Amino acid sequence: MPEKKTIERARADKRAGKSSSTQAGEFVREEIHHIREGKHGARSTKQAIAIGLSKARKAGVDLPPPEEGTVSSGTRRSAQRAYRQGQSGAHEDPSPARSRATRRALKREGRRAATSGALARQAKGAARRRTATERSASARKAARSRARRKGSS
């Protein structure tokens, strides 16, 4: 269950007209904090991000599941289920036994997934998978939004 503050921050992002991935980023941030404070661990940075994105989808962030062929079918099914659950607005309590099992499994995992080095490696790898055109477009978009922000203040 995401913290109230996280949901409020994501809603504020939505009101500000920010993208759904930015809204989902708040949930990923919360997950990284949980690992850092020792609440639980994660096998990898990728897993920590996946947990955050799943929570975001369940909380109603309009973040569609990944396209076919980009991730494994299991991951895609899981994302579709979380997305449907979040979009329906119906709150579904997870089974206590499953929650306990997940928490115990995550508690056994290491805390290295949330270190600054691990996050830097993850970001660099993700950037490397993008084409030069995609990276350039992203940088241009960032520059435009910075200019807008500078002009509005």
Note the pLDDT of residue 150.
Answer: 77
21-56 residue pLDDT tens: 999 999 999 999 999 999 999 999 999 999 999 999
- pLDDT for position 50: 95
Within its chain, how far is the Cα of 2 from the centroid? 12
Task: Check whether residue 17 and residue 90 sit in a common domain.
Answer: yes
Q: How confident is the model over 71-128, as pLDDT tens digits?
A: 999 999 999 999 999 999 888 788 999 999 999 999 999 999 999 999 999 999 999 9
Residues 74, 133, single domain; the answer is no
User: Domain count of the chain?
Assistant: 2
Q: Which of 95, 111, 127 is the last residue of a domain?
A: 111
Q: Which domain holds residue 139?
A: 115-153
pTM: 0.87
Pick the closest to residue 66 from 133, 25, 126, 74 (CA basis): 74
Residues 56 and 104 occupy one common structural domain: yes
Q: CA–CA separation, 59 vs 18, rounded Å?
A: 16
- State whether 49 and 106 are in the same domain: yes
Query: What's residue 110's pLDDT?
Result: 96
Do 120 and 54 share a domain, yes or no?
no
Whether residues 91 and 34 fall in one domain: yes
Tell me: do 107 and 121 sit in the same domain: no
